[in-house]
Amino acid sequence: MKKIPGIIRPELQQLPQVKDRMTFLYLERCKLNRRDGAIEVMDDDGTVDIPAAAISVLMLGPGSSITHRAMELIGDVGVTVIWVGEHGVRYYASGRPLTKRAGLLLQQAKLVSNQRLHLAVVRKMYAMRFPSEDVSKLTLQQLRGREGSRVREIYRKLSKQYDVSWSGREYNPEDFFESNAVNQALSAGHVCLYGLAHAVIVALGCSPGLGFVHVGHELSFVYDLADLYKAEVTIPIAFEAASQDLPDLPAYVRRKTRDAMVEQHILERMIRDLHYLLADEEEAGEEESVVYLWDNIRDTVPNATSYRMGDTP
């Protein structure tokens, strides 16, 4: 993508794509209108027309506004709109999910609800973060112990590298400035990752609350997905920031995290990794606008059919 002041002018073939049908486009500081079958994007530097059918997910950042006519077109072609902070570092709201089918959500619910399958996803998550270890036979308790040990080692290494004192992850959610510099930096950076993870999850039609490692919170799956990238993105940035005498530590960390997420293609990786974790094969095909009826014997039966007692499709 080519960035100019204000909007990001896209070369459509360069937009992040997943399975050749999911295209994410981020825009900021611009006005969106409708021109025939295109979304007209305007800012102080000019106008760009983007074919609505060429985008799947539209992420609207700070300073953007959109007209009712543009939303009509977006609704007609099935584009998902998500309102986010700068480069997705905060999640605010969203429209319809990208998919018209519930396959990915049903798969997520199935994996969460079955103890054996649930543990298999947890093992996948651990293996993605620490690929050098064989976790195929580890229990959940053993996985937690291994993860704690490896994460503590990461903190110790960075503490020594940046000469920053580290005594553990200590913070008060109600008082950001109560904790020390490195914990403040970690909190500021993690929030950025959570925002992008939340946007990806809802765009793909999954539930932010159905987590595997984290459970019981409305953002459990958001925390799960974001955890996959902390060791390479937010944790090193936090220690580097804490080693300096910065006038505005949180702002510095947010900017660094934003830039790192763009440079390391975290958005594209989150989409790919989410599909891998849920091992969803059905959604890989072309989408259909289809509604089924649930059947306790045959799983699903066709909709829009008048059934009588004892009918078998």
The tens digit of pLDDT for each residue in 209-266 reads: 999 999 999 899 999 999 999 999 999 999 999 999 899 999 999 999 989 998 898 9
At 166, is the pLDDT very low, low, confident or very high (cuts 50, 70, 90)?
very high
Average pLDDT of span 282-297: 46
| Strand order across the beta sheet in which 17-18 lies | 17-18, 22-27, 57-60, 80-84, 91-94
- For helices 140-162 and 115-129, the axis angle rounded to 10 degrees is 20
Phi, psi (degrees; rounded to nearest 5) at 291: -130, 130
Q: What is the pLDDT of residues 65-77, one digit of tens each?
A: 999 988 888 877 7
What is the per-residue pLDDT for 284?
42
Q: Tell me what percent of the residues of the chain surpass a pLDDT of 70.
A: 80
189-207: average pLDDT: 89
Question: Across the chain, what does the average pLDDT equal?
Answer: 81
Q: Are 206 and 104 in contact (CB under 8 A)?
A: yes
Tokens at residue 260, please?
Answer: 């790192």
Q: To the nearest whole percent, how much of the chain has pLDDT over 90? A: 39
pLDDT band at 10 (very low <50, low <70, confident <90, very high): very low
Check pLDDT > 50 for residue 115. Answer: yes
Which pLDDT score, from 0 to 100, does residue 313 have? 53
Rounded-to-integer distance, Cα 49 and Cα 39, Å: 6
pLDDT at 221: 96
Q: Distances in Å between the alpha carbon of 111 and those of 89, 121, 286?
A: 28, 8, 23
Residue 209 identity (one-letter amino acid): G
pTM of the model: 0.68
Distance, CA of 28 to CA of 7 (rounded, Å): 5
Q: What is the pLDDT of residue 307?
A: 54
Which is more confidently placed, 51 or 19?
Answer: 51
Q: What is the pLDDT of residue 160?
A: 96
